[in-house]
């Protein structure tokens, strides 16, 4: 199964102001026994612990500043861009 995942990447600057940016990645789960969005949601925490994802690499501002980063998936689409799941708090591009 392949998805386009929109991630919220957040970190704090030197004044402890929280900065949030969004980035998309294309993910192929063909080798992970993930056949649906529910499978991804069920197994995502385990994949995070394995450092499977690093969407912060797509955010130049974070790369320049560095520090502790928080990443969360906020939207999942199929490869044609059809939305399959959305975090109810994610209001971008609605």
Please give the average pLDDT of every successive group of 10 residues along the chain, which has 94 residues. 94 85 93 93 92 82 72 96 96 74
Is 73 a domain residue? yes
Give the range of the structural domain holding residue 9, as residue numbers without chain letter.
2-86
Q: Which two tokens stand for residue 66?
A: 């560095």
Would you state the pLDDT for residue 75? Answer: 97
Is 93 a domain residue? no
Rounded distance, CA 94 to CA 82, Å? 13
Rounded distance, CA 36 to CA 84, Å? 9
CB atoms within 10 A of CB 70: 12
Per DSSP, the three-state class of 49 is helix
Would you state the pLDDT for residue 12? Answer: 84
Give me the number of domains the chain comprises. 1
Is 21 a domain residue? yes
Would you state the pLDDT for residue 35? Answer: 93
Rounded distance, CA 8 to CA 87, Å? 11
Is 94 a domain residue? no
Is 66 a domain residue? yes
Is 19 a domain residue? yes
């Amino acid at each position: 199964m392949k998805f386009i995942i929109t991630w919220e990447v957040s970190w704090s600057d030197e004044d402890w102001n929280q900065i949030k940016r969004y980035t998309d990645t294309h993910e192929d789960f063909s080798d992970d026994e993930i056949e649906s969005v529910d499978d991804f949601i069920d197994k995502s925490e385990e994949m995070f612990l394995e450092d499977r994802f690093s969407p912060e690499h797509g955010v130049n501002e974070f790369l320049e500043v560095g520090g502790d980063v928080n990443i969360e998936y906020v939207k999942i689409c199929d490869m044609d861009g059809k939305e399959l799941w959305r975090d109810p708090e994610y209001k971008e591009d609605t």
